[in-house]
Chains A and B, each alone.
Chain A
Amino acid sequence: MQNIGIGTDLVEIRRFENVTDRAFSAFLTKNFTRNELDYCRSKEAPAPHLAARFAGKEAVIKALFGLNITHIFYPSIEILNDERGVPYVRINTDKTEKLCIKISLSHTSEMALAFCIIISES
Chain B
Amino acid sequence: MASFDENTIKNIFCEVLGISATDVTDVLAYNSCVQWDSLKHLQMVAMLEETFKIEIEMDDIIAMENYARVKEILRKYLQ
Contacts and interface: CB of A to CB of B under 8 A. Distances in A.
Q: Chain A contact residues (Cβ within 8 angstroms of B): what range?
A: 10 to 19
Contact of A22 (B47, B49, B58, B61): B47
A-side interface mostly:
helix
10 contacts: A23-B15, A23-B16, A23-B43, A23-B44, A26-B50, A27-B42, A27-B46, A29-B46, A30-B42, A58-B38
Contacts of B34: none
Interface of B: 12, 15-16, 38-39, 42-47, 49-50, 58, 61
A11 B39 contact: yes
A26 B44 CA distance: 9
Contacts of A115: none
A29 B47 CA distance: 11
A57 to B, nearest CB: 10
Nearest to B56: A30
Interface of A: 11, 15, 22-24, 26-27, 29-31, 54, 58, 71, 73-74
B42 A31 contact: yes
A73 B38 contact: no
